[in-house]
Amino acid sequence: MVTFSGTLTAICILLAALVIRYNYIRNRQQRTQEALSATVYNRFLIQYKEQINHIILTVIPFANDYCSFTELSHKLQLIKQLLPKEAIPQGYASTAHLHQAYLDILYFCNNSDSLREVHNKAYLDRQKLRLQQYFATSLSHPLDHQQVDAILTDDDNTLLIAGAGCGKTTTVQGKVHYLLDKKLAEPKEILLLSFAKKNVEDLRARVGQLGVTCKTFHSLAYHILKGSGKEAQVIAPQEVEELVMNIHQNLTKDQNYLASFNDFVLHGLRPIRSENDFSTFADYIQFLKDSDFESIKDQLNKRKYFIDGRPALITTNVIKNPEHCYIANFLFIHDVPYSYELPYPYLEEIKKDEAYNKHKKNYRPTFTIYLNGYDEHSINFCPTPKDYTIFLDHSAILNMQGAPRFFECTNNPNKTEIYQDLVSWKQELHQGAHTRYIQSYSFEFKNQTIEENLIANLQHHGIRLSRKPNVEVYKILEEVYGKEIDAALHLVLTFINLFKSNRKKLKEIISTNTLLFKNAPELIDRNNALLAIISSVYKGYQEALSVSKKMDFNDMINEAEMVTSQKLFQHSFRYIIVDEFQDISVNRLKLLQVLKTQKYYKLFAVGDDWQSIYRFSGSDLTLFSQFSDFFGHTIIRKIETTYRFADPLLSISSHFILKNPNQIKKSLRKLTQSKTKLLIEYSKEDKQSINQNLLGILLKLYIEYGESLAEKSILLLGRYQHDISRIASTSELVIKRKESCIQVDTLLRDITIDNKGDTRRNNQFRFKRDIPFYTVHRSKGLEADIVILINCESGKYGFPLEVSDDPLLHLLLSGDDNYPNGEERRTFYVAMTRAREKCYFLVNKNKQSKFLRELFIDYRKTSSVSDECPRCNGELRYIKNVLGKAGLSQMFGCANFKYGCDYVDFKQQKVESSTRSNRES
């Protein structure tokens, strides 16, 4: 009888036998397959023996030269063409030459990039050692190791990032000499490009005698068009500006255009922001100082009271913020007389037992509005003034139950409750005094109902609004907002330059505007209104070019690119070297790309993203910072030894520029142990004071340098050309506008008197010289021993210029250039880094630039600094002595009082402790 266990045992034995049989058959098949694969592989090696040997002997080995990415690609492509890829059988082992050679080929293909890097590094090391004497003597000055690395690098695309004063032009000169001396190119095969005519002239002076071609992009485009049989009649840049101005003037005859332009200058040039848009009170105050808001009425009052060249006392209060300015201009444009922040005339004295509240005690309605022909003066003679006045309060709140972000209530954490109580108190006050009262709010600006609500409220109280005609408004704007009109037209011109350079469609820009600012509908409407103005000017501009059969520089470059792409022009360059590459625009970049597509050349681009300051002419920083995205494989080199300036300027300026995270990091280092100092000279607003400052600087320099001051080079810099007008022409300082310089003729005296009154030193020196004046943009590439920057102020036309960061330009620029004041920060950096020995900042102490304030805070040791306001970082200034119960105290107040900061500090004399409070009286 067969048992269950016996059956199970038999089954297991059978299964084991089957497994053994299966493995035997599979292994036999595998051995057969391996033998077959080995046979196939051996046949492959024999069949491609010549190709394998050829690749090993002639393709894979690097020449005794630099191997570019394209040259490596050619090697890999040739290997692919000569030798199909064949799988090596598993377990195949052989010491045969062909097999080992094939393994070497596979290894090369899989590791080609790293092998190329190793080869190139070894080559560079050999060349630097072998050519040490060459690089030390080929030019007037020896080249440093970073310059030599850049010159020897011979890849498809090389981006050389060069710091200020690091010798980039010398490196370009060395590159050209090396290419010619080592027979890497003939002179006719090298093209040097730059953006400004003066840069090209400098390059031509250095290497032109070698026979190489030096051109601006515009002259290259002209050469391409001429070479393709097209004649180009080109309009000069200054003519472009004049043409845009003339087109604008003609368009002002169109009432729709004029109304739109007036509204933009009044309300759109600087987008309206309330305190709720800022994270700190200090940022908000700085915004107000930078913007320097002034109403039309304020400006007219200044002109009205300007007597004998000196401003008489004007009692009107300064407009504090853009929302107030908007309302003030709205009232003025609609012929509604008003006063700003006058004390409420019917405020009863607060009882002594009532809780002290500065907001109630010092209550000033934002606007006092007058009816029936009365104004702020004649109302004083009205027998019933309440019948002819309306009080308007504007509140910086985002909802009816809120409070302004920076509303201050001492010793009470619930500021919303306190503020709402204040609102109720004002309403009850007006009701009790039987005065007419209306209110406006910040949220009305956000939801774009401010004008509608103002009209409704004013009409409700019997005011008949009559807007001044557009022509009259424009004439007033020309008188009081002339610089704003210039700024608006400059913005139009900048947009047209970027627009034509980028070659975007208007519909695309409108769509981007809606998408980019989807959370700010008021900004979308503002940008669309500006686009409508630009569209009108652009249409007239293009029509004028068409009628005159001319093209501008952007048209010429765009046309040259098209001609080249159509192969109507053939270039013969092996190397194109581009200087000042940080100023590249989209259309210039596309021209370089199409030239490279037509015929391969090696691109050597030199620039410094820290000095990219020509956005108004079309440059876009991303084209530099993301270079390889546009040109492919790129080797980046840096030269970081500056031969111009040293610490503390070196470290201060580097730290300053790198606050913009989009700037490429460099570690600039000085060559010598010398110092370059930053010095601040404070002035007042009048021109005479600035003259005294300049003469004072010259005296300090004479005391330090003696008569060798005559050998020191000096530059005066300004943010704008009109900054030269900050100086008054006198017998000692004469403005020579045509020559753009200051003629100085003064006697400098270095006198020392001892304690007894005896003169110990009495040196005199007649300083007679023309000191050149440049805008910062024109000074780029220049340097001097002494640099004096005469505009370091806040305000509409201070430094930085806030209008240059207009949000509309973001629609044409990349994300890398959207850092706040990024362009202006780079411009300020350029100004600082022109100096070899000393850089002076001449500034009105009441209106310090936020850039200078930033340097001030970061590097306090560079100059003395007084106490700071803890609320807004403003300066605390002595006001008066106060005698109280604790004795005599000194009262200090914040210098930003007129912008809304009422902080004060009471310091007891001869007592170390101090008491602080807010301004209560």
Q: Report how far residue 802's alpha carbon sits from residue 424's, in angstroms, rounded to the nearest whole number.
A: 38
Residue 424: what are its φ and ψ, rounded to 5°?
Answer: -60, -40
Answer yes or no: are the C-beta atoms of 890 and 884 closer than 8 Å.
no
Residue 346: CB atoms within 10 Å: 15
Quote the Cα angle for 481-483-487, to 5°: 115
Write out the binding residues for ATP.
162-169
Q: Report how far residue 700's alpha carbon sits from residue 698's, in angstroms, rounded to the nearest whole number.
A: 5
Decide: residue 664, CB within 10 A, 0-12 exposed, 13-18 middle, 19+ buried.
Answer: middle
Decide: residue 908, CB within 10 A, 0-12 exposed, 13-18 middle, 19+ buried.
Answer: middle
Q: Which residues pair with 367 in a beta bridge?
A: 340, 392
Q: How far apart are the first and last CA of the chain?
A: 121
In terms of residues, how long is the chain? 921
Answer yes or no: are the C-beta atoms of 85 and 48 closer than 8 Å.
no
SS3 of residue 492 by DSSP: helix
Contacting residues for 855 by C-beta, under 8 A, at least 6 apart: 652, 656, 678, 862
Sheet holding 741-753, edge to edge: 677-683, 835-844, 784-789, 714-718, 759-775, 741-753, 733-736
Answer yes or no: are the C-beta atoms of 557 and 220 closer than 8 Å.
no
Alpha-helix residue ranges (DSSP H) falling in 48-167: 49-54, 69-82, 97-110, 112-130, 132-137, 145-152
What the block records as the tokens of 285 is 């105050």
What the block records as the tokens of 588 is 């210039």
Quote the Cα angle for 352-358-361, to 5°: 60
Q: Report how far residue 824's alpha carbon sits from residue 752's, in angstroms, rounded to the nearest whole number.
A: 43
Q: H or E element: which one contains 541?
A: helix 521-548
Q: Report how far residue 436's alpha carbon sits from residue 602's, in angstroms, rounded to the nearest whole number.
A: 77
Nearest to 869 by CA among 289, 165, 77, 53: 289
Nearest to 556 by CA among 578, 585, 599: 585
Beta pairing, strands 903-908 & 914-918: antiparallel
Answer yes or no: are the C-beta atoms of 323 and 274 closer than 8 Å.
yes
Rg (Cα) of the chain, in Å, rounded?
A: 37
Alpha-helix residue ranges (DSSP H) falling in 435-481: 442-446, 450-460, 470-480
Q: H or E element: which one contains 789?
A: strand 784-789
Residue 878: what are its φ and ψ, rounded to 5°?
Answer: -65, 135
Alpha-helix residue ranges (DSSP H) falling in 281-413: 281-291, 296-304, 322-333, 358-361
How big, in percent rounded to 5, are the helix, strand and coil portions of the chain? 50, 15, 30
Q: Report how far residue 641's alpha carbon sits from residue 671's, in angstroms, rounded to the nearest whole number.
A: 6
Q: Is the peptide bond before 337 cis (omega within 30 degrees of 0)?
A: no
Quote the Cα angle for 582-586-591, to 5°: 100
Write out the binding residues.
162-169
SS3 of residue 374 by DSSP: coil
